[in-house]
Structure 1
Amino acid sequence: MSVPDPSALSPRRILSHPALLTLPALAILILVMAVPLGTVISRSFTEGDAFLDNYYWFFTTPVNMTVLIRTFRIAAVVTLVCAIVAYPYAYAMSVVGPRLRLFLIMCVLVPFWVSGVVRTLAWVILLQDSGVINKTLLALGFDKVKLIRTQLGVTIGMTQILLPFMIMPLYAVMRGIDLRLIQAAKSLGAHPVKTFFQVYLPLSLPGVFAGATIVFILALGFYITPMLLGGTQSSMLSTLVQQQVLSLLNWGRGGAMGVVLLIATFGFLALAAPFMRQKYKMSGGSR
């Protein structure tokens, strides 16, 4: 029978274990996330005439279902627009020289350091009926376009705020792609368009999926931007949660809305995860 090494049980050896280094972060996460989330979930079941009364109210109220679908639709549109805008920008960041790359990175990060409320208020000034954009259109001979209090305005504002979360994961992946693969494909007679879709795009898909996941999840919980740029026809579920909790002081119904949104988000990610893993393997990420 082997005798355990006394040095392996020493306090210094135990405290130096890598897993123990995560305890402070786990304690903070439990304190600021798990406890409040548990309270919200508990209230969604306990505050009401019956155990599932708040959830029955949510699913039987047409307005709630309409806003829930609209929330996912706006988040999906914003994610798609961010991907379309961010992809060429991240590609340019990955192929230009160091000085120009630094300038492009600063163009992404400087607005990111500004408060989201300030950026949203700036979009209010730009998008309003008498704002800069409509004045420019009138000066060019075009008619005014209704941008404020519309879903288009909400999409524009959310896209600008969330764009860095799409650009940076894309840039991180694209920097690791060996551009000699593109040159090799061209030397073998491949058309540039075919080279992009068969060589470069599959290798960059992990960055696309990473950025899209971050943007989509963040977009689902947006509150300030839809409230300031949108109207009654573009409100998202976070606005209804705010009304129930702060205006009506109904924590049960507000908690039920939050739990439904959380479960729906996890369900969407669970459905998308197998597809994302398959694409990641196709891009060579399994090697």
Structure 2
Amino acid sequence: LLLVFAIIIVPIGWLFWLSLFDEAGGFSAANYARFFEQASYIKTFVTTFKVAFIVTGACVLLGYPLAYMLSQLPRRAASICLIFVILPFWTSVLVRTYAWLVILQRKGLINSWLIDLGVISQPLSLANNFSGVVIGMTHILLPFLVLPLYASMKTIDTDCLRAGMNLGAGPAATFRQIFFPLSLPGLASGVVIVFVLCLGFFVTPALMGGGKVIMWAMRMEQTTSLYSNWGAGAALGVVLLVVTLALLGLFQWLLGARATGVWSSR
């Protein structure tokens, strides 16, 4: 408990205290007022959550089928495939981001293939924009959803699935009514991890966005490093923390209501 207090509570408390002082060192709530008065902050806030929702959704669409496929493989084959899922963790985020820049640039691998195949006549703009940020972040964060989801799927008792099929449920009904509800805890864990990581992501949006996609962490860095306004930067951190906790609480409530509804309907 003392360790939690020292590592978590004290830094957050200091962040909040620092946010209450303006540039002149006076006690003021001007840093929070600036957030509501300047359109650039609102735009950055909306962009951050827009990217977070899109990337999280993309990770769910790609990660759930992948985790399901891994859970159905024999143990040896699944272990080999998991190595490729974990492999990106051994490479720096910076290196992977630059790799995507090379792949997605106008003369990169994807555009070259599409032009050679006759699919397009002019290179697509895939990097240094919003699409590039989403692609890069989805690739980097996908394992954070697959791993907890796979672990949750492996704990599902196959006897429950066989019992459902013995009672006349087809494969689709068995998946929809038994497998999917039982996999929700793992899916929820993965979604929360990916979403929270998206909100604080810095390297990939800074490089893949080409300065056109400004996210919250980038705005905080500009405020503190470029303008040396630590109070305003701290206020940005506090606002992001409060909104994130509120959304996570809402998500947990919705998930609990969903789980209660699923089991009460049986």
2:157 is aligned, of 178, 182, 205, to: 178
Residue 268 of structure 1 deviates from its aligned partner by: 0.7
The yes-or-no answer on 1:136 pairing with 2:113 is yes
Contact kept in structure 2, 1:205 and 1:279, CA below 8 Å: no
Residue 199 of structure 1 deviates from its aligned partner by: 1.2
Q: Secondary structure at the match of 1:46?
A: coil
| Alignment partners' CA distance in 1, 2:80 and 2:249 | 38
The yes-or-no answer on 1:90 pairing with 2:67 is yes
Report matched runs for 1:13-32 at 5 Å: 26=3, 29-32=4-7
Residue 138 of structure 1 deviates from its aligned partner by: 0.9
Match of residue 43 from structure 2: 66
Residue deviations 1:203-261 (CA, integer Å, cap 9, x gap): 11111111101110011000000000013442211111111111111111111111111
Residue 283 of structure 1 deviates from its aligned partner by: 6.2
Match of residue 211 from structure 1: 190
Match of residue 239 from structure 1: 218
Match of residue 43 from structure 1: 18
Q: Secondary structure at the match of 2:87?
A: helix
Worse-matched range after superposition: 75-84 or 189-198: 189-198
Unaligned runs of 5+ in 2: none
Match of residue 18 from structure 1: none
| Alignment partners' CA distance in 2, 1:134 and 1:31 | 50
Contact kept in structure 2, 1:74 and 1:155, CA below 8 Å: yes
Residue deviations 1:164-216 (CA, integer Å, cap 9, x gap): 11011101110011223223322333232222111111111111111101110
Report matched runs for 1:146-161 at 5 Å: 146-161=125-140
Q: Secondary structure at the match of 2:169?
A: coil
What TM-score, normalized by structure 1, do the two folds share?
0.85
1:113 is aligned, of 90, 93, 118, to: 90
Over the residues paired in the alignment, what is the CA RMSD in angstroms? 1.8
Contact kept in structure 2, 1:165 and 1:214, CA below 8 Å: yes
Amino acid at match of 2:107: S
Match of residue 10 from structure 1: none
| Alignment partners' CA distance in 1, 2:63 and 2:258 | 19
| Alignment partners' CA distance in 1, 2:6 and 2:164 | 53
Amino acid at match of 1:63: S
Question: How many residue pairs get matched?
Answer: 259
| Alignment partners' CA distance in 1, 2:27 and 2:10 | 24
Residue deviations 1:7-65 (CA, integer Å, cap 9, x gap): xxxxxxxxxxxxxxx65xx1xx5555444433332221112466111111111101110
| Alignment partners' CA distance in 2, 1:100 and 1:142 | 35
Contact kept in structure 2, 1:147 and 1:153, CA below 8 Å: yes
Residue deviations 1:130-165 (CA, integer Å, cap 9, x gap): 111111111111222211012111111111111111
| Alignment partners' CA distance in 2, 1:133 and 1:30 | 49
Contact kept in structure 2, 1:226 and 1:236, CA below 8 Å: yes
Residue 97 of structure 1 deviates from its aligned partner by: 1.1
Unaligned runs of 5+ in 1: 1-21
Percent of aligned positions that are identical = 39
Match of residue 4 from structure 1: none
Amino acid at match of 1:46: F
| Alignment partners' CA distance in 2, 1:59 and 1:113 | 41
The yes-or-no answer on 1:276 pairing with 2:255 is yes
Amino acid at match of 1:92: M
From the CA coordinates, give the structure whose radius of gyration is larger: 1
| Alignment partners' CA distance in 2, 1:236 and 1:201 | 33
| Alignment partners' CA distance in 2, 1:194 and 1:150 | 41
Worse-matched range after superposition: 96-105 or 269-278: 269-278
Match of residue 263 from structure 1: 242
What TM-score, normalized by structure 2, do the two folds share?
0.91
| Alignment partners' CA distance in 2, 1:203 and 1:34 | 34
Residue 95 of structure 1 deviates from its aligned partner by: 1.7
